[in-house]
Structure 1
Amino acid sequence: MPSIGCCGIFADEFQLKNLKLKMAPEELAAFGDSAMIGNKNFSYYRAVIAVYIVALFFWSTGENIEAGTYAWWWCYLTHWTLTMEAAYLILAAVVSFQMDKIRAGITDKKAEYADPPKLVLVTWVLMNVVYCNTFLVFLMYWLLVYDGDTNAVSVQVHGVNFLLMAVDIFLSGAPLRVLHLWVPMLYGTAYLLFNYFYYLGGGGDSAGDPYIYSTMDWGNAYGTALFWGLVLPYVLLPLFHTLLWFWWLLGNYASKEDASWRASLLESLDDTTAV
């Protein structure tokens, strides 16, 4: 991101080219790095939280298998997002550990925008899905679903996992673009369609209710279900994505993670190559 004033930052951010999943060479050079704690520490951090989230995934599924409710585990947005988060963190850790190799593969250091390597692209897409959807799951659970009864797994899949993503956003050198809000919106749309067609097919929850979430009871409260079905993916997810972009900007400011830092990564690559 250019090191310019607020108006310049917004003008640069809202260029239509930022709708695409392309990035500048200096952005690719910084993708798995962190100006605040350095690539090595960031790689180990991501590896640790990847192990934690994968363990949480198996803990959650294991409890449901034991309780005989595993068939319904995959119906919840919480668990869709936990699965995406585990995949993201595994790939993000791999990318961070592979940054020297990724930088070495940058051939045109003066290109404006280019397609990133497939591993980086998939990680970037998952990043856009996971960041704001963990925020959505966190807020919606505690505001709409929580009934006073919870357990250790629920607290972690509806809170701790988002806090870890908030730290990841703050530390990461990967570009987060406002105009990529279409990525989490597509994910939200996919879940909305699943939820609705699951109901049409006679699906419900493990307690025998004809819905997954009571706020989306298509049979008995269609208006309310439609309201939340439209608000969640088309209002809240874009809003949360934008709020997290500001949080990412704050992390950039705090760590001096700007265009000059990203450019220095390319320059250091040239120096290494020369040696």
Structure 2
Amino acid sequence: MSAVKKYLKEETQWKQLGFEHLKSPDFYLSPWQRNRSSVPLLIFRMFLFLGTLAIVIASMVYYIQNAMYRFWFIYLTHWGLTVILLTTGFATAVSARCHFYGPLSAEFCLPWYVKTFWVLYNISVPIGFLITIFYWSVLYEAGIEEEMNHGLDVAVHALNSVIVFLLLITSKHPSRLLHFHHAIVFCFIYLIFNLIYHFAGGKNPDGDSWIYPVIDWSKPGVTIGIVACVALLLVILHMITVGLAAARDRIASRVLHPTDSGKTEQLPLRQQQA
């Protein structure tokens, strides 16, 4: 119990709102490896990025073929998928940069691209889980099939969570409790878009005045209640993400016993691995 109190005391300090983290290798090394090679995580992240890119392209092509390309951008699902694509892209870029040009320095502050990756990661993981839960528990049961193709529907609304989960368990950098607001701000921006789209006369592919039937601004009371429930669920999912990250680190530290390779941190990692 004392360990939990200590953890909560540390995680709820105001400084945790920022992006200070002295162990910069945590952003390009996996907790499941014994050496200091950036190659394994670089390759894995590249596969995640290419897999996400394939899903995005397939979804967009399907909408274009059905002359509904303008509707692709109105769904939170596709917004979330785009963020996951950016997250895996930045994750790959961070690993590649460290592999070819050497380790990061966190002496003063982390580079902007690492901070960008961290923010995108904080958004994409809980959002990915939220989209999967919300779609299959609410929308699918109501007969809503966004992709109009079951196979693509599964890829967009299920594989997205698999991708962010794999990104989560193979990453080493921390997930902080106070970073929950990143995903909340993202959803708030979408909510503003949803509201403007409705009152500007926007329609869904079936000609309805709402994007999602459960978020119908002609029924503001019910809609606001649902939005509040979704926001609460998003906070819970962020806490679950933090818990999964803590469990990941604890299990990895018990299963593996990383040893220092003794190679200098001043050389590009590709030279260290030679």
2:217 aligned residue = 218
Alignment of structure 1 residues 92-103 onto 2, 5 Å: 92-100=91-99
1:159 aligned residue = 158
Task: Tell me the distance in 2 between the aligned counterparts of 1:154 and 1:105.
Answer: 39
Cα offset for 1:117? 0.3
Does the 8 Å contact 1:103/1:269 carry over to 2? no
Cα offset for 1:7? 2.7
Does the 8 Å contact 1:205/1:211 carry over to 2? yes
Task: Tell me the distance in 1 between the aligned counterparts of 2:104 and 2:249.
Answer: 25
Query: What secondary structure, in the 3-state scheme, does the structure 1 residue paired with 2:233 have?
Result: helix
Inter-CA distance 51–182: structure 2 relative to 1 (3 Å threshold): same
Cα offset for 1:133? 0.3
Does residue 244 of structure 1 match 2:238? Answer: no
Task: Tell me the distance in 2 between the aligned counterparts of 1:76 and 1:240.
Answer: 20
Alignment of structure 1 residues 43-54 onto 2, 5 Å: 43-54=42-53
Letter in 2 for 1:34: S
Inter-CA distance 101–5: structure 2 relative to 1 (3 Å threshold): farther
Structure 2 stretches of 5 or more lacking a match? none
Task: Tell me the distance in 1 between the aligned counterparts of 2:179 and 2:65.
Answer: 39
Cα offset for 1:256? 1.1
Q: TM-score, normalised by structure 1?
A: 0.86
Does the 8 Å contact 2:201/2:209 carry over to 1? yes
Task: Tell me the distance in 1 between the aligned counterparts of 2:106 and 2:16.
Answer: 22
Inter-CA distance 41–270: structure 2 relative to 1 (3 Å threshold): closer
Query: What secondary structure, in the 3-state scheme, does the structure 2 residue paired with 1:217 have?
Result: coil
Does the 8 Å contact 2:56/2:81 carry over to 1? yes
Inter-CA distance 61–6: structure 2 relative to 1 (3 Å threshold): same
Does the 8 Å contact 1:33/1:99 carry over to 2? no
Letter in 1 for 2:249: N
2:16 aligned residue = 18
Q: TM-score, normalised by structure 2?
A: 0.86
Letter in 2 for 1:224: V
Letter in 2 for 1:217: D
Letter in 1 for 2:245: W
Task: Tell me the distance in 2 between the aligned counterparts of 1:264 and 1:9.
Answer: 27
Spell out, residue by residue over 1:149-180, the C-alpha distance to the aligned partner (whole angstroms, 9 max, x if none): 66111111111111121121112112211100
Alignment of structure 1 residues 1-275 onto 2, 5 Å: 5-20=3-18, 22-26=19-23, 28-37=24-33, 39-100=38-99, 104-106=103-105, 108=107, 114-147=108-141, 151-219=150-218, 221-233=219-231, 235-256=232-253, 269-270=264-265
Task: Tell me the distance in 2 between the aligned counterparts of 1:88 and 1:237.
Answer: 18
Pairwise CA RMSD: 2.5
Inter-CA distance 226–100: structure 2 relative to 1 (3 Å threshold): same
Inter-CA distance 124–99: structure 2 relative to 1 (3 Å threshold): same
Query: What secondary structure, in the 3-state scheme, does the structure 1 residue paired with 2:74 have?
Result: coil
More helix by share: 1
Inter-CA distance 50–98: structure 2 relative to 1 (3 Å threshold): same
Does the 8 Å contact 2:80/2:127 carry over to 1? yes
Cα offset for 1:243? 0.8
Query: What secondary structure, in the 3-state scheme, does the structure 2 residue paired with 1:25 have?
Result: coil
Spell out, residue by residue over 1:68-95, the C-alpha distance to the aligned partner (whole angstroms, 9 max, x if none): 1111110000000111111111110111
Inter-CA distance 204–271: structure 2 relative to 1 (3 Å threshold): closer
Structure 1 stretches of 5 or more lacking a match? 109-113
Cα offset for 1:107? 6.6
Percent pairwise identity = 23
Letter in 1 for 2:165: A
Query: What secondary structure, in the 3-state scheme, does the structure 1 residue paired with 2:214 have?
Result: helix
1:111 aligned residue = none
